[in-house]
Amino acid sequence: MVEELGITAEGDQVINIGPQHPATHGVLNLVVTLNGETIKKVEPHLGFIHRSIEKMCESLSYRQFIYVTSRMDYLSSHINNHACALCVEKGLQIEVPQRGQVIRVLMDELTRIASHLLWWGAQAMDLGAFTPYFYAFRERETITTIMEETCGARLTMNYMVPGGVMVDLHPSFQQKVKEFITLIKSKIDEYDELVTGNIIFQNRMKGVGYLTAADAVSYGCTGPTARGSGVHCDVRKIYPYEVYGKLHFDEVLETEGDSFARYLVRMKEIKQSISIIDQLIDNIPDGDFQAKTKAVLKLPKGEFYQRVETARGELGVYIVSEGGTTPYRIKFRSPGFSNLSALDHMAKGGKLGDLVATMGTLDLVIPDIDR
């Protein structure tokens, strides 16, 4: 009987979660060692969506490879494109016009709100509440409509190019964004009433998945995952790029380090993103949206690195150039991979039911981890 259930002599049982499982948000395989209901070990198995994007980038030109990166972390595709465009610009020493910079930042922050909204809906769904999912998508659709008007796509926009952005803003962009800001400001309170203050939700989230600040640093966690433990790591603050240096916004920090702290960080980040958009939407400077660049880009021989803050954490793009039209090697430092590596530490000693709550707050996008 014991052998049939796969229980070892010490009383441990090994179960598989995924690759097809609604709580893994994609195709991740977790091999969980359990003792009763207590987790002894969580082993993530990767590669179920490894599309060899880094290898592909080596055969694509500096204009082409950016489009592939939209499919990497598809919930913040603008920010992925932004990181690659910035890295190429660094190599070519192109100065992006002010208008281009402001448009980029606006798009980044809209993407961040959309990503956090989707995460909020999915997190509540993981814990068994289905209504927030519909609420979140209702507001997210407004952002996708705005994106579609300007960029021509709802999800994988491919809008940022080396030198600026691909096309100018749609004439109704400003008005639509203002309407959206008014809408989301009223909805945030509704979200707080519905989920944040909910006692069942708080009981599920508080006191599970602890991650101390020292552990967050040693695992290389970034983004809301690390900021929930009080680690000062917002790239927009520490290494400001584009116009972030001139903007007034707070880096959201929580010191608890549990799942609820990470939840609060993301909810507060939505408000910070709204305030950034508020500051910029009436002050989009006139002028070019794209700098003049050559048709064929050639990066000088050398190594270039650029980091940006995506909705999930720090994304780094590392390009090694031999002086040709295609990169010699590209490496992406994706936030999801490092955040996932801390899962074993966070879930150990907890209950199996809390694993879902903990994993949800990491906000994993599996193609971002596997690439």
Q: Contact positions toward another protein, by CB under 8 A?
A: 19-22, 26-27, 47-52, 55-56, 59, 67-68, 71, 74-75, 118, 133-135, 137-138, 140-141, 144, 154-156, 366-367
Q: Minimum distance from CB of 47 to another protein (Å)?
A: 5
> Cβ closer to another protein: 85 or 103?
85
d(CA 7, CA 11): 6
Find, among 219, 314, 226, the residue nearest to 262 by Cα.
226
The DSSP code sequence of 315-344 is EEEEEEE-SSSS-SEEEEE-HHHHHHHTHH
Q: Minimum distance from CB of 121 to another protein (Å)?
A: 8
* Tally of CA atoms within 13 A in the half-sphere of 255 that contains its CB: 0
* Tally of CA atoms within 13 A in the half-sphere of 238 that contains its CB: 13
d(CA 57, CA 329): 8
DSSP percent split of the chain into helix, strand, coil, nearest 5 = 50, 15, 40
Q: Minimum distance from CB of 52 to another protein (Å)?
A: 4
Residues in a beta bridge with 164: 161, 290
> Cβ closer to another protein: 130 or 248?
130
> Cβ closer to another protein: 71 or 345?
71
Q: Minimum distance from CB of 199 to another protein (Å)?
A: 26
> Cβ closer to another protein: 125 or 267?
125
Q: Minimum distance from CB of 131 to another protein (Å)?
A: 10
> Cβ closer to another protein: 91 or 367?
367
Q: What is the largest CA-CA distance in the chain?
A: 75
Q: Minimum distance from CB of 150 to another protein (Å)?
A: 16
> Cβ closer to another protein: 19 or 240?
19
